[in-house]
Amino acid sequence: MKTGHEMDPDQWTTLKWLRILVLVLTVTMIGGFLIIVLLFILRFQSLGRPTVPLPAQITLAPGHEAAGFVQGGRYFYVITHRDTILVYEGGTGTLVQEISVVAADEARPGG
């Protein structure tokens, strides 16, 4: 007669596999968590460093008021309330180009 604590050999084999699977899952989850933490640390270290050297002061063209600012490559861009984009060179801050923005429906003939 079997009591509640006795197990068949098949049940022991199943229990051993279950323990191995739980161990593998635990190690995988801990490893994945550590990788995510490492990626966050590496990503946040690169934030805060300007990609373009900026001058101490930017002088906008007369009549323009800044609405937005974007950095990229060798240039930085100031978007104004007058629907223009002012392109400045990185370290010097000299105005390189002024681009007038026209909405797509306004640009089409008859639009």
Q: Structural domain boundaries of the chain?
A: 1-49, 66-107
24-61, pLDDT tens digit by residue? 999 999 999 999 999 998 888 777 665 667 777 888 87
Separation of alpha carbons 28 and 22, rounded Å: 10
Give the Cα separation of 79 and 85 in Å (integer).
5
Q: Give the number of other CB atoms < 10 A from CB of residue 78.
A: 21
**Residues 87 and 96: beta-carbon distance below 8 Å:** yes
Nearest to 56 by CA among 93, 30, 81: 93
Report field, pTM of the whole predicted structure over 0.75: no
Query: Who wins on pLDDT, 72 or 5?
Result: 72
